[in-house]
Chains A and B, each alone.
Chain A
Amino acid sequence: MTRLSLQALWSHWRRNPWQLLTLLAGLALSTALWSGVQAINAEARASYASAADVLDAGDVARVLKVDGSVFSIEEFVLLRRSGWLVSPVLEGETEIGETQFRIVGIEPLTFPAALPQGLQDAQGSVSLVSDAPIALAHPDDLPLLKGLDMQLRADATRPRGNLLMDIGQAERLLGAQGGIQRLLLSPEIPLDQNRLPDEFRVAQVDVQADVARLTESFHLNLTAFGLLSFAVGIFIVYGAVGLAFEQRRGMFRTLRALGVSLRHLMLLLSIELCIFALLAGIAGVALGYLIAAALLPDVAATLRGLYGAEVTGQLQLRASWWLSGLGMAFGGAAVAAFAALYKLANMPVLSFNHPRSMSLGAEHVSRRLAVLSVILFIAGTTVTLVGEGLIAGFFMLACLLIGSAIALPWLLERVLKFAQQHSTAPLAQWFWADSRQQLPGLSMALMALMLAMAANIGVSTMVSSFRLTFVDYLDQRLSSELYIAARTEKEAADIAKFLDGKVDALLPIMSVDVRIGGLPAEVYGIIDHATYRENWPLLMAEPNVWDAVAAGKGVLVSEQLARRQDWQVGDMVPSGDRLIGIYSDYGNSIGQLIMSDALFSARYPDVPRLRFGVRTDQPDAISSALQNTFNLDEDGLINQEDLKAFSLDIFERTFSVTGALNVLTLSVAALAILISLLTLATMRLPQLAPVWALGVTRTTLSRIELLRALCLASMTAVISVPVGLILAWVLLAVINVEAFGWRLPMYVFPADYLRLGGLTLVAAFLAALWPAIRLARTDAQSLLKVFSNER
């Protein structure tokens, strides 16, 4: 019986291969979008988890050589013997087998933080001196290291191409290619610690260690987007499962009548669904991998540009995300099929299809959903007013989007009812009434469309607003034509002397890394110059702010820092200075504080003066003259134009990811409409047959169907515009502030929305085309059968 029943169920898919394909495609696509985003996240997180672990030993400060050279063992010992509890990290690159590896050697006895798990082992002393000393490597690297005469241990937190081992082993492998570039500094300071000799300096924890924290918001954004894409994709599956259910009603009835128990039938359907979920899940994960691989370089560039976080551009298969992808496929299929299975469970053995009574019930449902959406709006608004943080922002977004989506059927119902009441022609009245009846079946697809469109409007508004502001800001901020970084103070002095008289102005830039409120920040010292007075992008400031800064009467801070520390103009900052102005500093995750040159020199007398901004109207000539005389390296001489181009490039790459996801989401929504219409088409014959019998041709009917789809899509599009704009506002004024620390002005781009609306209509038209053509080609017999079957 089971075999026969399965054969019967399968026969449906054999007869409707396209339907099977859409079901699988929908499920695969939603899984792909989700797992693609997850893959990117997992890759990026793994990259900086390992970058932050041992190399920077969490929150550990470092001692560096002022001249940037490597430490000798004697210098390390000298520091230890002066009461500086430092631990050496020996690094270098070497070839093992065919592959270039970065070797990192640590000294376990003095290591100022918890040792990596792999080194804490029952064998204990093995890591130091033994026939088989330990090396920790990424699991995927192990096969490449066959030739290494060490005991290899897999450690998934290591970056690819990176080997961690005892310093003695590292020195043995690297020889002259290795050097101790930094000493990790223990937070414990002995009482009799001597003054640090002049050739060394302490660097507090740099950005790398905080990367995970800083980029968390970025990943939360991506995850939210992935979830949205998944939700839209699930609408397709819902449609496809619903369609298959409706079409197999007769079959279920027959099977039940032949003695298949309800429980058995449900079980068979569940098995069928699981097989689909598995197939679609695997395909989806594979597709997600491709999406992630295509997007990862851009994401990597974004993270590097925005946060200085290194992400390897190469994607790896990680169990975490492909398992979660499969899980989502199963979960999604279950959610989508729940309604269908529930209906089956409650279906009388002999039942008829009564679409009108279904839609009557649906009216109550839509009213209830409308009430729920109001509750969601109130909850979202309350959280925005009361709550703080990124999670609150996303909660509000979720309330907004879900609330608008579930309010949609009720709104459309109102509009259609209004149109119906105000039309007089019989066919027009039937058109509106019939649209209302179709609404429950289409509402899921329309909700998906609205979500996709609103997301598109919201995100594109944010990106375009950002672009406008950012370009403007770059022009203001990068006002010097050339930026120079000398290697030594002597070279800096020589360069200054060389440029004297050749350029309009030489603006020294001094900075020091500090920590403010526990997070990294930079303090800058600037001289009083028109360049700053005319161009600096001040958001808020006291009158005569530049005079006050020059006189050392106050400091300026970046918007991010001010928001993070909750500082206002007029406050006293911890350094004891008065905050007299706040300026925008987009794209920088690190807080900034600016003070006068004199104040800076007094506070930080040890900071070398190495950098300048150069004002000149002949940047190219000066640049090549400098290059010829001083042979500055790549970072030593930067042209403003290049810097701008680079910054804009980072910017474009950042949002190419969102752009790509936008397009995908919209396509998924169009697919959802197609499937819903296909579903409805078969159910609708009983409604169309009488109209046809009254003399409306099939061609006219199919045109009406097309018109209806366009009509509903355009209504949805109109409604999605305000939703999208609110979404944009939340993104700019709430999410951005929480995630990046800056608030952007919002600009509106009506032409873009019109274009998007047009695109949506095209998508809806294309989606409705096939069902309409099918209707036009329906043979008269099928329509006639409706009457005989009804009797």
Chain B
Amino acid sequence: MNVKPIVILCFYISVLCGPVFAQGFANLGRATEGFTIPKLGYSFDFPADHGPHPDFQIEWWYLTANLKDAQGRDLGLQWTLFRSAMAPTEANDWSSPQLWMGHAAVTTPDNHYVSERLSRGGIGQAGVTAAPFDAWIDDWQMAGKSFDALTLRASGVDFSYEMELTAEGPLIFHGEQGYSQKSDSGRASYYYSQPFYKISGVLSLPEGEVDVTGTAWLDREWASQPLAATQVSWDWFSMVLDGGIRMMGFTLHDSDGSDYTQATWIMPDGHTIDYPDGAFEADILERTEIAGRSVPTKWHVRLKEQGVDVVVTAINPLAWMETSVPYWEGPVRISGSHSGRGYLEMTGY
């Protein structure tokens, strides 16, 4: 889920300095003084690691869900909490250097509803506790006795939702036991997911209340300066294929034209196969003009080692996130050698 470092690093810059966020990319090269750097061989500690790591610069709890309503319509939902630190400390008042940002969205074939919330840490307006698990910003919340059974809610001026999530498989770890490399120069993050959630609940939309069920995918990732300064954009795919197989793949584009890719093949029992740079391929088939930009909304995706050769099509090509740092995020349909549904996230367009 590689776009987030950019989003998160840009976010406080853009919030506080508005028009200069073009410089945000340059900020990726900024020294991360005092912050902890991810190391190979880290052994995760749960439930503590479901909670925040304030000594790392950036972190997120990122949930996407593919839903169906009673008419069989394909819908999507997003709930994200980002944490960004300006210093590797925390305080229990306004002086907290921890900043929080929430994004929530619902995507239907015809509409895309988005809302954003910002908060600083230290005062209780936003935060995460590991046990019992509770992640919140304002009235948005993802919480449960354990990570395996969660309730989820969020609302904007024109939508809201309340969902129940139940995990039907184990946590999976990307890269080398959760150490996910982002470039040849060794930049990396800690990255694990719960891709096996069953989800059901109610969406409140302008068209009325919609009962939905489906699958959800929760990403957890934290790092400090995980990107090289020249890594300017990202395409990230999560796929739930027929037969219970799941797959994650991303392409990181460098300003010199080279790409860095990674993929994880996830079997129904939770076993994973990690594919390093070069195995995962994604080519643009179609673009959509949106918000003055040309955004790819139909892709040709391959992972030859697993015989994957599919076309990935956006359910709603206009799923543009008009937030402090805008990006594209929405549900997709998969067809070809495999079929299924998934989520696509793109930034840098």
Contact = CB atoms under 8 A, between A and B. Distances in A.
A73 B123 contact: yes
B24 to A, nearest CB: 9
A120 interface: yes
A535 interface: no
B94 A109 contact: no
B182 interface: no
Nearest to A77: B124
B93 A109 contact: no
A172 B160 contact: no
B155 A129 contact: no
A109 B138 contact: no
Nearest to A121: B17
Contact of B94 (A119, A130, A168, A188): A168
A129 B122 CA distance: 13
B13 A125 contact: yes
Nearest to B118: A109
B315 interface: no
Contact of A120 (B18, B93, B159): B18
A251 B18 CA distance: 67
**Most chain-B Cβ atoms within 10 A of its Cβ — which of A76, A107, A190?**
A190
B149 interface: no
A125 B155 contact: no
A327 interface: no
A130 B95 CA distance: 10
A188 B87 CA distance: 31
A167 interface: yes
A83 B155 contact: yes
A123 interface: yes
A190 B93 CA distance: 26
Interface in B112-154: 115, 118-120, 123-125, 136, 138-139, 153
Contacts of A82: 139
Contact of A119 (B16, B124, B155, B159): B16
**Most chain-A Cβ atoms within 10 A of its Cβ — which of B93, B119, B120?**
B120
B70 interface: no
A110 B120 CA distance: 9
A648 B98 CA distance: 56
Interface in A142-181: 166-168, 171-172
A122 interface: yes
A192 B17 CA distance: 31
Interface in A68-121: 73-74, 76-77, 80-83, 85, 107-110, 115, 119-121
A768 B123 CA distance: 79
Given A77-B123, A122-B23, A191-B158, A127 B16 contact: yes
Contacts of A77: 123-125
B160 A192 contact: yes
Contacts of B157: 188-191
Contacts of B125: 76-77, 80-81, 110
A124 interface: yes
B36 interface: no
A190 B12 contact: no
B81 interface: no
A108 B125 CA distance: 14
B119 A109 contact: yes
Interface in A31-85: 73-74, 76-77, 80-83, 85
Contacts, number: 102
A228 B132 CA distance: 76
Contacts of A122: 17, 20, 23
B32 interface: no
A362 interface: no
**Most chain-A Cβ atoms within 10 A of its Cβ — which of B16, B96, B138?**
B16
B6 to A, nearest CB: 15
A106 to B, nearest CB: 11
Contacts of B204: 191-192
A191 B159 contact: yes
A116 to B, nearest CB: 12
A160 B159 CA distance: 44
Nearest to B89: A129
Contacts of A171: 93-95
A129 B95 contact: yes
Interface string B1-33: 000000000001101111110010000000000
A167 B124 contact: no
Contacts of A784: none
Interface residues of B, number: 35
A150 to B, nearest CB: 14
Contact of B15 (A81, A109, A129, A193): A109
A674 to B, nearest CB: 60
Contact of A129 (B19, B86, B118): B86
B156 interface: yes
A128 interface: yes
B97 interface: yes
Interface in B55-88: 86-87
Contact of B13 (A80, A124, A190): A124
A252 to B, nearest CB: 61
A124 B16 contact: yes
Contacts of B139: 80-83, 190, 192-194
B210 to A, nearest CB: 14
A599 to B, nearest CB: 33
Contact of B97 (A121, A128, A167, A172): A128
Nearest to B159: A191
B288 to A, nearest CB: 28
Contacts of B124: 73-74, 77
Contacts of A168: 93-96
A128 B99 CA distance: 10
B136 to A, nearest CB: 7
Nearest to B98: A129
Contacts of B136: 81
Interface string A124-144: 110111100000000000000
A109 B155 contact: no
A70 to B, nearest CB: 15
Contacts of B87: 129
A754 B15 CA distance: 68
A124 B12 contact: yes
A76 B86 CA distance: 23
Contacts of A167: 94
A109 B11 CA distance: 11
Contacts of A121: 16-17
A124 B17 contact: yes
B20 A124 contact: yes
Contacts of B120: 107, 109, 128
A66 B12 CA distance: 34
A127 B87 CA distance: 14
Nearest to A88: B94
Interface string B89-107: 0000111110100000000
Contact of B118 (A81, A83, A110): A110
A110 B137 CA distance: 12
A635 to B, nearest CB: 32
A194 B136 CA distance: 16
Contacts of A83: 138-139, 155
A124 B187 CA distance: 25
B86 to A, nearest CB: 5
Nearest to B123: A73
B275 to A, nearest CB: 37
A190 B115 contact: yes
Given A109-B15, A109-B119, A192 B138 contact: no
Q: Which 8 A-B pairs give the minimum distances between C-beta atoms?
A: A168-B94, A124-B17, A109-B118, A83-B139, A191-B160, A190-B155, A192-B155, A129-B97
6 contacts: A76-B123, A76-B125, A77-B125, A109-B99, A189-B157, A192-B204
Interface of A: 73-74, 76-77, 80-83, 85, 107-110, 115, 119-125, 127-130, 166-168, 171-172, 188-194
Interface of B: 12-13, 15-20, 23, 86-87, 93-97, 99, 115, 118-120, 123-125, 136, 138-139, 153, 155-160, 204
